[in-house]
Amino acid sequence: GRPGRERGSRSDRNSPYTQSPHSLETADIETIQDLVNERMDAKRDRDYDAADAIRDELRDDFNVQVNDKLRMWSVGGDFGIAQRADAT
């Protein structure tokens, strides 16, 4: 990247979401990635109801958690970072 650009900055908002290296294995990578991309498009278009519905589908159907700050998704929700006990 360019000097001065940091992960999570405004300039990073269009970078794609990737699978966390700490994610559990899955045979549904292509389907999950398509849904994550669709959610990203909905958020960009400010269709937050659609984005939330896709997030819920990922969680309920595939056990996938999405971390918007890291721009990653994970089957099982492991991103390799310490998580606070009171985080939701």
For 62, other C-beta atoms within 10 Å of its C-beta total 16
pLDDT single digits (tens) 25-75: 999 999 999 999 999 999 999 999 999 999 999 999 999 999 999 999 999
Q: Where are the alpha helices (DSSP H) in the chain?
A: 29-44, 48-62
Tell me which of 84 and 70 has the higher pLDDT.
70
Total-model pTM: 0.77
For 16, other C-beta atoms within 10 Å of its C-beta total 9
Is residue 66 exposed (0-12), middle (13-18) or buried (19+ Cβ within 10 Å)? buried
